Structure formats: structure tokens, C-alpha cells
Amino acid sequence: MSTEATLLERCESKCELCSSESALSPYVVSPHTQVTVDHAVMLCSTCKDQIEDPESAEINHWRCLNDSMWSQVPAVQVLAWRQLKRLSATKGWGQDLLDMMYMDEEVQKWAEIGMNDDEEKPRDVNGVELKKGDDVTVIKDLPVKGSSMIIKQGTAVRGIALTDDPKHIQGKVNGQTMFIIAEYCRKK
């Protein structure tokens, strides 16, 4: 029996999150990349689209998690937990469901690993993500705390390093290593 056929049998030909019976396809739960029975779920196109593009999420669609969060399938638990975690930031009912949810320690770690992809990242003035080793240009004069030095507009900072705080980057300016606010830079 193929993996997809096994998944369809497991879910009784219904979306494993919302129970819809239309347009089902396998969805691999990150950080895994292979479609396997243990690391994939069958999702309808609505759930899949909203997971892949959280900006398009229709909040009330996710009330279905009230049922699917109790699934015995670890991959379904992981997806339900991640969606509830996203919803909990704006919706009280999302946090309430999250508080009731129980997962084994190993499944909890799997769920949290995938959420790290959503962590805040340092971004320049245009919203472009900054990465270690990028070159940036300072877009306005910046006074350096604790000194009379000013980093002038247009100063190039080569080979930046990232910090624990996504609002700051680290780089050398005039031979001195210092922290710079990421949003006052433009990626070259």
C-alpha cells in the first residue's frame, strides 16, 4: 500500500484538521521533508493554503482545532499546536485550547522546533531579512552611546554578525566593533 493510501485510510478520507472531504493531499510537517506516515498529514486545500500563508488565515476556520487537537497522531497534534500558538497571540480561545492541550515531551519538542522558523528576524529599513555576512549601509547619522562618535549616513558596514536581539546587528565601523539598530540600515 502506498504512503498516500495509508494516510487516506488513517484519516478516513477527511482532512485531519477540519474534517473536510474535498481536495485532500499529503502535507509534510516540518522540519521533516519526506512524505511518510509518521511525518505527514492529509489536509484539504483550505487548511494547507492557510498554513503555508498565515496572512490569508480565516480565523474562524481554525475553530476545528477544538476537535483535531485531541488526535492520537503526533503529526496532527504538532500542526494543531502550531496553529493554536499562532492564534493565541490574537484570540483568547486559541490560548484556552492551547492550555488544555497535552502532548508527549518528544512531540512537544517537534512542535516547538517548527515554530523557530517564525521567530523574529533582523530586517533592514525596507523589511529585507539580514543574514550573517551581509553588507549594509547606514541610512542616517547614528550617535554612539557612551561616546561623542557619530556613525555617518552612508557608512558601509561589511560582514555583519547577528545578535540575540533581532533589532540589532553587529559590525565594524571605523575599526571598532559595535551594535547597530537593524532598521537604520539598508542591505547592499
pLDDT at 180: 93
Nearest CA to 16 out of 37, 38, 47, 39 is that of 47
Question: What's 123's DSSP letter?
Answer: B
What domains are there in the chain, each with its CATH number?
3-114 (no CATH), 136-187 (2.30.30.40)
pTM across the whole model = 0.61
CA quadruple 65, 17, 83, 37: dihedral, nearest 10? 130
* Residue 119: pLDDT band with limits 50, 70, 90: low
Taking the C-alpha atoms of residue 113 and residue 30, their distance in angstroms, rounded to an integer, is 8
- pLDDT tens digit sequence for 74-116: 999 999 999 998 888 788 888 999 999 999 999 999 988 866 5
pLDDT at 12: 95
pLDDT at 116: 55
Residue 101 CB neighbours (<10 A):
17
pLDDT at 155: 94
Residues listed for the chain:
188
Per-residue buried b or exposed e for 19-30, using 16+ beta carbons within 10 Å of the residue's own CB: ebeeebebbebb
Contacts of 95 (CB under 8 A, 6+ apart): 84, 87, 88
Residue 58 CB neighbours (<10 A):
9
* Residue 52: pLDDT band with limits 50, 70, 90: confident
* Residue 11: pLDDT band with limits 50, 70, 90: very high
pLDDT at 31: 85
Write the single-letter amino acid at 26. P
Q: What mean pLDDT, rounded, does the chain reach?
A: 90
Taking the C-alpha atoms of residue 174 and residue 186, their distance in angstroms, rounded to an integer, is 18
What is the torsional sign of CA 120, 125, 129, 134?
negative
Place of cell 486545500: 45
- pLDDT tens digit sequence for 138-163: 999 999 888 899 999 999 999 999 88
Write the single-letter amino acid at 169. I
Mean pLDDT of 171-176: 90
